[in-house]
Amino acid sequence: MTTLCRLASLRAYTPDTVVTNDDLTKFTDTNDAWIVSRSGIRERRRLADDENASDLALTVAESALEAVGMEARELTHIITATCTPDFLSPSVACILAGKLNAGPVMAFDFSAACSGFLYGLSLVRSILAGNRDANILFVCVEALTRRLNWADRSTCVLFGDGATACVCSGVTRPDDATVDDVICKSDGAMTDLLAIGGGTACRYGLGQPVGPDFFVQMNGRETYKHAVRRMTEVCEEILGRNHLAMGDVNLFVPHQANIRIIEAVGNRLGVESDRVFTNVERFGNTSSASIPIALAQARAQDLVRPGARVLVTAFGGGLTWGAALLRF
């Protein structure tokens, strides 16, 4: 039996501070023309010095709960996708549960890097299959600028901060979407292509300066090749197993990592650019929050009408990748 999984009141929040490409030239050896031509990014958002991922999460979670008309006490689960949590423990989800006064809710984080939104959709569908009365607050949040090495120009220009939240349940509400299908995959033989440090593999003692392994590290060229190949393949797979063609999709919302990756995947799938949503120019790569921020903006711009079928796809560190079909 198919599980009914609805996403209600998807909300996005990005910090107010805008960092332009010109701003970056003040502390790293780069220039606007290089960044725009290689990535399509013109600016990104950066959280304030006194904020953490959980602060962005709280702002957006309150907005989603208010929009859906639900008290935090009605939640059964809080699940957070993040690869830049405040701490290894406690989880962002537990911090959020405390700040929302959600009571003894099941709360945990998981890390699937830029595929976090898709892995989360798969998780919430499984939870709803076992408990049709679950009310799940699903948050994607990243504070990536905290893990950027500003001396590494090949990575620090690509990422930004942001958060999204929605309430997932089996109940149909106005302003929501159905998750029709999700595919999530990984390849653990390629862990070294893209990594974010700060875990127990980073062995720094008191007073020692941190090294490059504390930050985002990436083999850009290899990541690019795998991203294009894997996202194209998984989109073809999800369309095929649902007996759909790209022509049946009203809007394609790929992970917002890099305009060249988005164009390459779009070209291989044969989708015209007016059916591809992009906002990478303004936000850079916000990892797990990237697709849901794009979805929230596409809805706000009236690009997703009632009944629209939306195909989303992501690729990220792990390696992880996947695709989902949503209906609004």
Least distance CB 11 / ligand ACO (angstroms)? 22
197 counts as binding ligand ACO under rule CB under 6 A: no
Contact between 25 and ligand ACO per CB under 6 A: no
What span, in angstroms and rounded, lies between the C-alpha atoms of 278 and 256?
7
Q: Shortest Cβ distance from residue 209 to ligand ACO (Å)?
A: 23
> Is residue 34 a contact point for ligand ACO (CB under 6 A)?
yes
Whichever of 102 and 158 has its CB closer to ligand ACO, that residue is 158
285 is catalytic: yes
Q: Is 275 exposed, middle or buried (0-12, 13-18, 19+ CB in 10 A)?
A: middle
Q: Does 229 bind ligand ACO (CB under 6 A)?
A: no
User: Alpha-carbon distance 127 to 4, whole Å?
Assistant: 11
Candidate list 19, 171, 220, 308; residue touching ligand ACO; CB under 6 A: 220
Q: Kindly state whether residue 280 participates in binding ligand ACO, applying the rule CB under 6 A.
A: no
Is residue 297 involved in binding ligand ACO (CB under 6 A)?
A: no
Query: Using CB under 6 A, which of 221, 270, 272, 302 touches ligand ACO?
Result: 221
Among 3, 30, 59, 186, binds ligand ACO (CB under 6 A): 30
Q: Which of 258, 288, 297, 313 binds ligand ACO (CB under 6 A)?
A: 258
What is the rounded CA–CA span in Å between residue 132 and residue 137? Answer: 14
The β-bridge partners of 195 are: 217
- Is 84 a binding residue for ligand ACO by CB under 6 A? The answer is no
**Nearer to ligand ACO by C-beta: 39 or 91?**
39
* Minimum distance of ligand ACO from residue 176's CB (angstroms): 27
Segment 123 to 162, residues that bind ligand ACO, using CB under 6 A: 153-154, 157-158
Q: How many amino acids of this chain bind ligand ACO (CB under 6 A)? A: 25
First to last CA, the chain: 21
List for the chain the helix, strand, coil content (%; round to 5): 40, 25, 35
**Among 83, 149, 184, 255, the one annotated catalytic:** 255
Q: What part of residues 57-76 is at the interface with ligand ACO (CB under 6 A)?
A: none
d(C-alpha 55, C-alpha 53), whole Å: 5
Provide CB contacts within 8 A for 189, sequence distance 6+: none
Least distance to ligand ACO from the beta carbon of 63, Å? 26
Work out how close the CB of 103 gets to ligand ACO at its nearest, in angstroms, rounded to a whole number: 36
Decide if residue 318 touches ligand ACO (CB under 6 A): no
What distance in Å separates the CA atoms of residue 66 and residue 100, rounded to the nearest whole number? 12
**Looking at 45-53, 64-72, 219-227, 234-242, which segment touches ligand ACO (CB under 6 A)?**
219-227
**Which DSSP state fits 281?**
H
Assess whether 255 carries a catalytic annotation: yes
* Pick from 226, 204, 200: nearest CA to 89: 200
Identify the burial level of 28 via C-beta atoms within 10 angstroms of its C-beta, where 0-12 means exposed, 13-18 middle and 19 or more buried: middle
Q: Which position's Cβ is nearest ligand ACO?
A: 220
Calculated CA dihedral for residues 232, 234, 236, 240, nearest 10 degrees: 180
CA atoms of 324 and 237, how far apart (whole Å) = 10
Rounded Cα gap, residues 136 and 75, in angstroms: 6
What is the rounded CA–CA span in Å between residue 208 and residue 22?
A: 32
| Residue 232 within binding range of ligand ACO, rule CB under 6 A | no
Classify residue 133 as exposed, middle or buried by CB count within 10 Å of its CB (0-12, 13-18, 19+).
exposed
List of residues contacting ligand ACO (CB under 6 A): 30, 34-35, 38-39, 114, 153-154, 157-158, 194, 218, 220-221, 223-224, 227, 255, 257-258, 260-261, 285, 315-316
Give me the active site residues, please: 114, 255, 285
